[in-house]
Amino acid sequence: MTQRVMFLAVGLLLATVLVQAQESKSTTRLQRQHNFTEFQKKIMPQTEATILAGIQGESVAMQQSALQTLRELAQIATDYPFNSLITPLEEKLINPQTDRVVRRLAALALDGLHSDAGDAVIQSVAEKSDDEGLQLLCKALLIRSNLK
């Protein structure tokens, strides 16, 4: 049930944004292409809560889906802060018991949110992680962000 609600809410938001982009046929940068309507701005907190539920859920597939949705939405909604998601993303990233793919998606999502707290966690994982692949990903994210 939660999965259906999440897909419905996020799907509705993404669909309206994509329709607007298609109608405008804009060639400007991504931030300018996706001016959110008042309706979209109102449902963003609900969408964020739905993504949070997916990230904190027990299902690895749901966590992966929620993280991928967050990454896509963060690219469209560049001005939305997603504040309630930063700490859960950090927890997924630093927990060695978390699924490997979920940890990598959490690193990518944190990087996409451009938060100082997220950058600090990525830096820490890049220096101290036992997971060599995750460590390399975090180092690459830091280089791309000009933080290293």
Residues 39-79 have pLDDT tens digits of: 888 899 999 999 999 999 999 999 999 999 999 999 888 88
Q: Tokens 């890049």 sit at which residue?
A: 126
% of the chain exceeding 70 in pLDDT: 75
Cα–Cα distance measured from residue 86 to residue 49, given in angstroms and rounded to the nearest whole number: 12
- Given this model, what pLDDT does residue 145 score? 87
Span of 11-25, 40-54, 73-87, 120-134 with lowest mean pLDDT: 11-25
For the chain, the domains span 2-144
Crossing angle of helices 116-128 and 100-113, rounded to 10°: 140
Tell me the DSSP string of the chain: -HHHHHHHHHHHHHHHHHHHHHHHT--S-HHHH-PPPHHHHHHHHHHHHHHHHHHHSS-HHHHHHHHHHHHHHHHH-TT---HHHHHHHHHHHH-TTS-HHHHHHHHHHHHHHT-HHHHHHHHHHHHH-S-HHHHHHHHHHHHHTT--
Does the pLDDT value for residue 24 go beyond 60?
no
